[in-house]
Amino acid sequence: MKKIIITYGTFDLFHVGHVRLLKRLKDLGDYLIVGVSSDEFNALKGKKSFFSYAERAEIVSSCIYVDKVFPENNWEQKKTDVIKYNVDIFAMGNDWDGEFDFLNEYCDVVYLQRTEDISTTDIKRSLSKIRESDLVEVENLLHSVIEIIKALKS
C-alpha cells in the first residue's frame, strides 16, 4: 500500500530549495502529489508569478520526486484534496507552522524546515536590485558617452 504525501506552493523561479523540499517530501512516502497555485489563486493572494501556472506546473512535474501535479485554486480545497487522494501526510514548509493542523483529523500534518539562505522572494529582490543598479550604471555611462561626443565635436 502506497504512502501518499501532498504539498502545495507557488513554485515560481524553481530553485534548489524547491528541489530539496520535494526530495525530503518524497522521502516521507511513496507517492508525492503537488498542488501548484493557479494564476487566479495567486492574484487573490496578492501574488504575481514570473511564470504562468502552466509553466510552473510543467517545471514541477519534471522533477523526479514528483508523481502528480494539479492546480491549487483556493485555500478551502486542501481538505477536499486530502480526502480525494487518500493522503497519508500533508506537508508544508515550517513558515506555515500550525496553519493546517485542522487536517490532522484526516492525515498526519508535517512542517518541514525550509532550505536556509534561499527563497523565491529573496531571488526576486536580488534580481530587482540588479536591474535598478544596472539601469543607473547604464544611465551614467550614457551621460559619459554624450559628454565625450560633445567634447569630440568641439
Whether the Cβ atoms of residue 83 and residue 1 lie closer than 8 Å to each other: no
The residues assigned a catalytic role are 45, 47
Report the distance separating Cα 150 and Cα 94, nearest Å: 59
Report the distance separating Cα 54 and Cα 115, nearest Å: 25
Whether the Cβ atoms of residue 89 and residue 110 lie closer than 8 Å to each other: yes
Pairing mode, strands 108-112 and 68-72? unpaired
Nearest to 38 by CA among 81, 83, 7, 74: 74
